[in-house]
Structures are given as structure tokens and as C-alpha cells.
Amino acid sequence: MNTVAAVPANAAASAMSPGRVLGAYLAEARSECLRYLRAPSFVLPMTLFSTVFYLMFGVLLNHPGSDASHYLLASYTAFGVMGPGLFGFGASLAIEREGGLLTLKRSLPMPPGAYLIGKMAMAMVVAALVVVLLLALGLTVGGVSLSPPRVLAMLAIGVLGVLPFCALGMFVGTLIKGQGAPGLLNLVYLPMAFLSGLWLPLGMLPRVLQQIAPVWPSYHLNQLTQSAVGLRSGPLLPHVLALLAFAVVFLLLAARRLRRYG
């Protein structure tokens, strides 16, 4: 029955004009963004978790204007950007798979990639909101001074840097049912942030943890945000390529599991 129902839907989607295909992508992206932005249970934790941590440790317990204030703004930006990708993609995908919404979406006459593009757009919008809030705190009460190009660089890194974590969240969402997804994602999110130097500089961690830090995508995102605030001057391309590789690998793994298990 599922195969029979899927054939006309896919055929209808492939027969759509380019304008209607683009409209379907935009409509799905708009729907996902509005659905989650209207859900306080999602938006508030995603936006307030990193901002409250930064307010406590980057503002109240820190000396304004120091390198530490710039470091903490960059590291908590990376920490905040991870959340919308992991939870907005992973937890929601697990819940929608379990509830049958993903199966319903597949039966609709819409481009097969619209569902994923819509969730990525939602994660990018929320990530941009997180970056804006952290920048507002850092530039007003955090004693951070950034030029307009550096502010724009932080925003661009945040918006694009969420994509590898969307892919990772998508993969985790294919492994577990809806109720267990938030717990498993927290077991990924929090240790990865700590081991990447987002809470403490890597120099304060044991040497073995410093050596394995590059295996985490959050480490590479942190290197980009540190560069954006002026604390790092090394080449950025290896970190960009590492994040791209993480995104591609986890996206392929997730797509394979979705094809096999739905």
C-alpha cells in the first residue's frame, strides 16, 4: 500500500513546474520556521540556554574588555549554534517518524527534499537568533568590541555552522524513538561541547583530550568563531572542510537509515 501510494505522489512532484517546485520548498521552509518559532517549549530553551550561561560566566564573572570576554563570546556562540541543529532536527525527526508524520509527508505530491530543506531553514533561523542575542549581550554589557565586518562574520558562521549539527541530529533522530531522543542528544551535545573547549580553554584539559578535540565538529566551529572575534589568525580552510565533511558523512548515514527503516 505504501509503495502504491508513493508512486503517484512522486510522479506528481516530478511533473511540477520549476516555479511550483520552488514554491513547495519555500512553503515547507516557511511552515517549519513558523511552527517552531510559535512553540515556546522549543524556542526559549534554544535561545536562553547559551545566553544565560554566557551572561553568568562571560559577563557577571568576567572582566569586560579582556581576551577572555572575546573568547567566551565566541565559544558560547558555537555552543548556542549547536542546539538548533541537534534538537530542532534530531528530536523532531524522531518524534515525527514515530508519529507517522514523516510517512505522510512522503506520500504528499511535494519534492522529496523539501522536508529536509525546511528543517534546515528553521535551524538556520534559530541559530541566527541565538547569535544575535549573544552579540547583543557581548557588545552592550560584556565589554566586547567588534568591528561591523567581524559581527557579520559571526552571524554568517553561526547560520552556516549549524548545518553539520543538523546532519548529526538527523542521524541521531534515525536511531531512536521520539521520547528517548532528547536524552540521547543531550549525551551528545554537552560532552562534545566540553571536550571541544567551549566551556574551558583546551589548554586547561588533560593532554589526551586536547589531542582528540579535532574529531568533534564543535571544535572546528569554535575555531571559526574564535577567528571571527580576532583571537585566532591561522588558516580557516581546514576547519571549513572538516565541518563540510562532517555534514556530508552524517547526512549520507542518516539518508541510508531513512531509506532502510523509514
Contact present, 224 and 236 (Cβ < 8 Å): yes
Q: Are 193 and 42 in contact (CB under 8 A)?
A: no
Q: How many CB atoms lie within 10 A of CB 211?
A: 11
The rounded distance, in Å, linking the Cα atoms of 161 and 154 is 10
pLDDT in the model for residue 6: 42
Whole-number pLDDT of residue 13: 53
d(CA 58, CA 28): 37
Contact 258, 252 (CB under 8 A): no
Question: What pLDDT is stored for residue 89 in this prediction?
Answer: 80
38 CA to centre of own chain:
19
Across the 262 residues of the chain, what is the mean pLDDT of every consecutive 10-residue run? Answer: 43 64 78 79 84 87 78 94 88 78 70 80 92 94 91 96 93 82 88 91 89 95 95 90 95 83 62
Please state the pTM of the whole predicted model.
Answer: 0.86
pLDDT at 90: 82
Cα separation of 88 and 193, whole Å?
17
Which grid coordinates belong to 238? 581546514
Distances in Å between the Cα of 89 and the Cα atoms of 44, 124, 178 are 16, 11, 12
- The helix (H) or strand (E) run that includes residue 40 is helix 40-54
For 94-128, the DSSP string reads HHHHHHTHHHHHHHSSS-TTHHHHHHHHHHHHHHH
Q: How high is the pLDDT of residue 15?
A: 60
- Tell me what pLDDT residue 8 has: 45
Q: What is the pLDDT of residue 4?
A: 38
